[in-house]
Amino acid sequence: MAKYVPDVNTKRWVIIAPGRSTRSNNVEQVKRVCPFCVGNEAMTPPEVYRIGSGEKDKPGWQIRVFPNLFPITDIHEVIVHSPDHEKNIEDFSSEQVENIIKTYINRFNVLKNKGKVFIFQNYSINRLPQTKAKF
């Protein structure tokens, strides 16, 4: 089972999930074939929500939601904010930010009766904001 613990070295809270150790850590392989990129929708579990045009699990989406392949809880979804998933939220148009917020509200409302809902964002280690967390 996953644990939420403070990392004393980085002064950040982290999630430790032993079951995720089976996923690929090969950064070059992940960069070549990214499951979050348009056209690679078949590499993810079937989507449960989308904003945009097109068929389910096909290109045309502006925001996509699907179950995580390496969940840390019983229900663990991935929300891809944009086909250009390398952008940070401050780089999006106000319309895209509004759609992202609507997506989070939708998923919260769908899942709130199934247990606690935790919303967090993963960052690439190279894109982590510098914060001063205190424990």
Residue 98 lies in a domain: yes
Residue 16 lies in a domain: no
CA distance 35 to 50: 16
Residue 65 lies in a domain: yes
Instruction: Say which CATH number the domain at 96 has.
Output: 3.30.428.10
Residue in the block written with tokens 């929300």: 79
- The percent of residues in the chain predicted with pLDDT above 70, rounded, is 76
Counting the structural domains of the chain, the total is 1
The answer, yes or no, to whether residue 42 has pLDDT greater than 90, is: yes
pLDDT of residue 112: 95
User: Could you report the per-residue pLDDT of 87-110, keeping only the tens digit for each?
Assistant: 888 999 999 999 999 999 999 999
pLDDT, greater one: 26 or 115 = 115
Residue 27 lies in a domain: no
The boundaries of the domain holding residue 104 are 36-122
Token reading at 93: 């148009």
- The percent of residues in the chain predicted with pLDDT above 90, rounded, is 48
DSSP letters for 56-83? TTSS-EEEEEEE-SS-SSSS-EEEE--S
Residue 2 lies in a domain: no
Does pTM surpass 0.85? Answer: no
